[in-house]
Amino acid sequence: MAKKLFIPGPVEVHPDILQAMATPMVGHRMAEYATLHGRVTTGLKKLLATEAKVFLSTSSAFGAMEGAVRNLVAGRCVNFCNGAFSDKWHDVTRRCGKEADAVKVEWGKPITAELVDEALATGKYDSLTLIHNETSTGVMSPLPEIAAVLRKYPDVVSIIDTVSSMSALPIPVDELGIDCCIFGVQKAFALPPGLAVFTASEKALARARTVEGRGYYFDFLEFEASDAKNNTPSTPCISLIYAMDKQLERMFAEGFEQRWARHRALADFVRGWVSDRGYGFFAEEAYRSMTLTCAVNSRGTDLASLKKMLGERGFAFDDGYGKIKGKTFRIPHMGDMQRSDLEEFLAVIDECLAVLG
């Protein structure tokens, strides 16, 4: 029996999307593919509020995240780190042979505008990486305030991952001045994994043109050349692009404002449950994620047993990530999730907690 997923990605996929995955193939050099590709990137540009290029990468998000540092770091990069995935991005940047420093804050804390300003004021960096919504800790850093700081440093290329936030709240890429906005599709977008999306501003593309060793598979200039023909440099994951096409259609039908409002309401609902049950929050109030709540296990619940019990009842539960596993647990409220889904899940958790004590 398939478990219903209440983990922060991959998330549960709507039956209409699953069925879109079963669409018969087209050839990626046929006109039919170019039409599909153009429709999807046009829809994504609306959602992201950008006139920059939007590229489709047949990879997980970390492929595009590695690609971004290969293409956009010419001199020295600063990686802002406040959780497992941003920590890893620093490691990956260095493995690409790039000079990079990590600005690390304690897990659970946000990356603030002040931190960004302080690092960039040194004048040492031509690029930065930042994860908007750290999926490991449920912390959302304040993008609009950070964006205000970025305007002071026009020569710095900003690379920002929004894998677990894009589409759940407004992230207007051009207005925020994000040069390269990256996300995978199996979290806030609620598709099966295997596709990453990234934008490239004119500034980013100009930078890439100066950088050696971009390789081929993630070469931004190859993506740019193929994009002109509504195509990709390598054979794309067509089934997932069908799924993205269907999901964009669904997002337009729901309406962006309504989608954002639904996420706010779901976040409030889950936070209320967490408080009512006597758990804490790993993030400070102002920086709590809109798409997942990371609760502190302040009741000392036996999370391993809870996970097992929930699994037996058909629900996949997440008992924390990395070094905070067991000390925290994470409840996602993203993608196509509805209030009724969370009501069902939280009611079953309540039943289990009654048994566990």
Residues within the annotated binding site for substrate? 330
User: Binding of its own copies at residue 214 (CB under 8 A)?
Assistant: yes
SS3 106: coil
Please report whether residue 97 would count as binding its own copies according to CB under 8 A: yes
Residue 207 or 246 having the CB closest to its own copies: 246
What is the H or E stretch that residue 81 is in? Answer: strand 76-81
Using CA atoms, how far apart are residues 199 and 179, in angstroms rounded to an integer?
7
- The residue behind tokens 């889950």 is 270
Residues 265-284 that bind its own copies (CB under 8 A): none
* Of the candidates 271, 287, 297, 305, the residue with the CA atom closest to the CA atom of residue 140: 287
CB atoms within 10 A of CB 260: 15
Among 226, 230, 234, 298, binds its own copies (CB under 8 A): 234
Candidate segments 39-47, 207-215, 279-287, 338-346, binder of its own copies by CB under 8 A: 207-215
Span of 7-15, 127-135, 246-254, 296-304 interacting with its own copies by CB under 8 A = 7-15
Q: Of 50, 59, 82, 328, which lies in the binding site for its own copies, with binding defined by CB under 8 A? A: 59
What is the nearest approach in angstroms of its own copies to the Cβ of residue 298? 25
Residue 314 contacts its own copies per CB under 8 A: no
Does residue 92 interact with its own copies by CB under 8 A? yes
How far apart (Å, rounded) are the C-alpha atoms in residues 300 and 287? Answer: 24
Residue 316 interacting with its own copies (CB under 8 A)? yes
**38, 45, 60, 308: which one binds its own copies (CB under 8 A):** 60
Residue 238 makes contact with its own copies by CB under 8 A:
yes
Gap between the Cα atoms of 25 and 33, Å rounded: 9
Using CB under 8 A as the binding rule, whether residue 192 contacts its own copies is answered as: yes
Instruction: Give the closest residue to 299 by CA, choosing from 283, 316, 317, 276.
Output: 276
Q: At what angle do helices 31-48 and 238-254 cross, to 10 degrees?
A: 40
The site that binds its own copies (CB under 8 A) totals a number of residues, namely: 57
Taking the least distance from each CB to its own copies, the nearer of 10 and 110 is: 10
Q: How far apart are CA 200 and CA 217, in angstroms?
A: 16
Q: Kindly report the CA angle at 82 between 144 and 187, in degrees rounded to 5?
A: 70
Provide the CB-side half-sphere exposure for 89 (13 A, CA).
32
What is the β-pairing status of strands 4-6 and 315-317? Answer: parallel
Q: Which of 235, 258, 275, 338 binds its own copies (CB under 8 A)?
A: 235
Does residue 18 belong to the site contacting its own copies (CB under 8 A)?
Answer: yes
What residue ranges bind its own copies (CB under 8 A)? 2-3, 5, 7, 9-13, 18-19, 21-30, 32, 58-63, 66, 70, 91-92, 95-97, 184, 186, 192-195, 212-219, 234-240, 316
